Amino acid sequence: MVAGAPRVFVSHLSGVAVFDPNGDQVGRVRDVVVMLRVGGRPPRVLGLLVEVVSRRRIFLPMTRVTGMESGQVITTGVVNMRRFEQRPTETLVLGELLDRRLRWLPQGGGATSATTGENAGEEVTVLDVSMVQLPARRDWEIDKVFIRRGKSGALRRKGETLTVDWSAVTGFRLAEDGQGAENLVATFEQLRPADLANVLHHLSPKRRGEVAAALDDDRLADVLEELPDDDQVEILSKLKEERAADVLEAMDPDDAADLLAELPAEEQERLLTLMQPQDAAGVRRLLSYEERTAGGLMTTEPIVLRPDATVADALARIRNPDLSPALAAQIYVCRPPDETPTGKYLGLVHFQRLLRDPPFTLLGSIVDTDLHPLAPDTALPSVTSFLATYNMISAPVVDESGSLLGAVTVDDVLDHLLPEDWRETELRGAEHLGPVTESADGR
């Protein structure tokens, strides 16, 4: 696994083979995609630019990389084969950062050389940069720069080389004045999706579209889920269709279905066709149910395990940081297949029960079979009563054949119980955000 991996110099990744979990080669690394940030903060590593067998270059997010060792990269096996198109906030390390002429400011960055303290502001050349994984997170960032001292064309045959912190060189960073979309995105990078959605809602439509276009797919998907329906449709309509499909794939299936339901039938079908078949299949199922029923409210991606899985297996799945707290609250135990719609639904295991039993305990021996699941046509009031009666934050939805279709979570129920315009109110903590200013022309 990449967690705790040593520092990786980007130039060493060039040409490295990329494999899926079965050992089949996907392609080779051609570059690393990063996002520069304001305030001297190290760039965030977004993913790898991979050339597949057809010589097409695709984007592999770092969240899909599970190993980077022994001269190879291992992926989760889920790879989007669409051609890579560089976005305004994205920078290619090998293509755009190496060989750059910068200024070295050793007193600010702690250079790893005895010459620290001399020649502040000296011109240097970038030979390489290194990336590391942040502790206890899946995020990666650029932390070090490998430089050569000496001006271009200097008489010295070979200038001294040394490795310095990212903050010790100047010339990479985004300008902190001006108001390009890149700067705005970088400024609000640490905001929660709900707070960033509130910022976008109060921008002009033109500015909102520019900022949305600069966000990466996962971030935009998270933000779209927090926006009012009108804003969602407006933003999605301004994206190229292939990118709109990518963003829909990154959204929770129930949220993607709700958004698609707002679109004309022809546009809805066009986007579903562009989505990955497996993602589209789950969304199509959700669209087949009435909106205010258990089937229309559920997500098709709960945690599903077989009865011979162990408590340790279940806890490992729950640790996934991409899971919402509601989905991580319990495990649904089913016969194979274990993807919705599953084999026979056997029952569920609550998170608290997992904490009380030894790691080797089989889920089949501790499964709770007393709680009857919901039918997909269960109306919203009955779903609400079910959750309230049994103090649940999510509930299984099972069809007539006994297969698990998905799970209804309390946040989706609340979303449909609150007034339609609740997302447009100022009750989302926006008062602690600084004002977002725009120039006279909306930029």
- For the stretch 358-383, pLDDT in tens is 999 999 999 999 999 999 999 999 99
Could you say which DSSP state residue 437 is in?
-
Reply yes or no: is the peptide bond before residue 337 cis, omega within 30 of 0: yes
297: confidence class by pLDDT, cuts 50, 70, 90: very high
Q: Which residue has the higher pLDDT, 42 or 152?
A: 42
- Cβ-count burial of 122 within 10 angstroms (0-12 exposed, 13-18 middle, 19+ buried)? middle
Of the ranges 40-54, 288-302, 408-422, which one carries the lowest mean pLDDT score?
A: 408-422
pLDDT higher than threshold 60 for residue 175: no
117: confidence class by pLDDT, cuts 50, 70, 90: very low
The whole domain housing 253 covers: 191-288
Average pLDDT over residues 241-270: 94
Residue 310 and residue 238 in one domain: no
Of the ranges 97-101, 285-289, 350-354, which one carries the lowest mean pLDDT score?
A: 97-101
122: confidence class by pLDDT, cuts 50, 70, 90: confident
Structural tokens at position 59: 């984007």
- Cβ-count burial of 113 within 10 angstroms (0-12 exposed, 13-18 middle, 19+ buried)? middle
Does residue 357 lie within any of the structural domains?
yes
Q: What is the pLDDT of residue 300?
A: 93
Q: How far apart are CA 441 and CA 204, in angstroms?
A: 10
Does residue 2 lie within any of the structural domains?
no
Residue 409 and residue 352 in one domain: yes
pTM of the model: 0.65
* 3 state DSSP class of 140: strand
Residue 266 and residue 235 in one domain: yes
200: confidence class by pLDDT, cuts 50, 70, 90: confident
Q: What's at 338, amino acid-wise?
A: D
Q: How far apart are CA 416 and CA 413, in angstroms?
A: 5
Q: What is the pLDDT of residue 80?
A: 85
Residue 81 and residue 106 in one domain: no
* Residues 6 or more apart in contact with residue 319 via CB below 8 angstroms: none
Q: How far apart are CA 59 and CA 49, in angstroms?
A: 5
134: confidence class by pLDDT, cuts 50, 70, 90: confident
Does residue 423 lie within any of the structural domains?
no
pLDDT higher than threshold 60 for residue 86: yes
How many domains is the chain built from?
A: 4
**With contact defined as beta carbons under 8 Å apart, do 103 and 121 qualify?**
yes
Place of tokens 């269960």: 378
* Residues 6 or more apart in contact with residue 264 via CB below 8 angstroms: none
